[in-house]
Structure 1
Amino acid sequence: MKVSRVIAAPRPHVFAAFADPAALARWLPPAGMTAALSSFDARPGGGYLMTLTYGDPRRHGQGKTTADSDSVEVRFAAFSPERIVQQVAFRSDDAAFDGLMTMTWTFDETPAGTEVAVTVEDAPPGISDADHAAGIASSLDNLARFLGG
């Protein structure tokens, strides 16, 4: 599955939004969620721990880790201004969310800014492609707003 969007900002600004933990926690959560980072190490072999919490009580019970949250452990297999490769594991007791998912983020300069493309491989079976694509698109919308475009 792949989702992309052109962000009206130069690649160094887009990359900086990934490399700054406070920035990442502001724009990465899809609509209706908030994020808290408990660690962050921006380098190959580094990574982060993030908990995403649903703000809408009507979504209570949809979390993968608790009734209203998803916790993920992310390791960076690559971390450069051109490409970030993340190995993502959900913290969940539900086997539908087991496994190691790979998310590859590429950043290509265009006349209109930076095309950010996200390719997902080996997503857990409990996450539908449609829901995942919608969540990534929401995050990319947030990134565009965060960077003023």
Structure 2
Amino acid sequence: MYSIEMSRRVRAPRTAVYRALLDADAVAKWRAPDGMSTQVHEFDDREGGRFRVSLVYDEPTDTGKSAARTDTYHGHFERLVPDERVVEVIEFESADPALLGSMTMTTTLRDVEGGTEVVMVHEGIPDAVSVADSETGTRMSLDNLAKLVEGNAGAGSS
């Protein structure tokens, strides 16, 4: 198992970013890396709340961790600190023992000039998932998150 840490500055307030981390429709838009789409099956956005999400490869020839073209994971929100931190405990749904076990993803939000620094730390990633794939997927998700919240920064914020 290994861990990665990635960050991205976004031109939006922490409240907008935090909302996007805990909104099922927003998660469906930003969570999947390029070449994939997201299906949110279950999403209870409170501390202790459970979620289940599938990332589906666009190409029919791509191999998923859970099914032919799908990476499905489930978990719960371990800790929520409004506008500051989201801690998720997640597990892949897979028949491959090399992919099993709990992972923790902690997203921390910090004020920076012009917006928010989003820091994602993934701990307990199975060695069967390449570091390069984890880093690339996280970077793409952070870029998607930035596009989403920057596009909505003026909408509904107070």
Farther-moved stretch of structure 1 (78-87 vs 2-11) = 78-87
CA deviation string 1:111-136 (max 9, x = no partner): 12110001111111211222101100
For the pair 1:2 / 2:2, whether they are aligned, the reply is no
User: Normalising by structure 1, what TM-score?
Assistant: 0.94
CA deviation string 1:89-115 (max 9, x = no partner): 000001111110111100001112110
Cα distance in 2 for partners of 1:144, 1:84 equals 17
What are the within-5 Å matches in structure 2 for residues 83-102 of structure 1? 83-102=85-104
CA contact (8 A) 1:42 1:79 kept: no
Consecutive unaligned residues of structure 1, counting only runs of 5 or more, are none
Equivalent in the alignment of 2:80: 79
Point out 4+ residue stretches in structure 1 off by more than 6 angstroms.
none
Equivalent in the alignment of 1:12: 15
- Sequence identity (%): 39
What are the within-5 Å matches in structure 2 for residues 65-144 of structure 1? 65-80=66-81, 81-144=83-146
Q: For residue 72 of structure 1, give the secondary structure of its aligned residue in structure 2.
A: strand
Consecutive unaligned residues of structure 2, counting only runs of 5 or more, are 152-158
1:37 Cα deviation (Å)?
0.9
Aligned residue type for 2:24? P
1:148 Cα deviation (Å)?
2.8
Q: For residue 26 of structure 1, give the secondary structure of its aligned residue in structure 2.
A: helix
User: Normalising by structure 2, what TM-score?
Assistant: 0.89
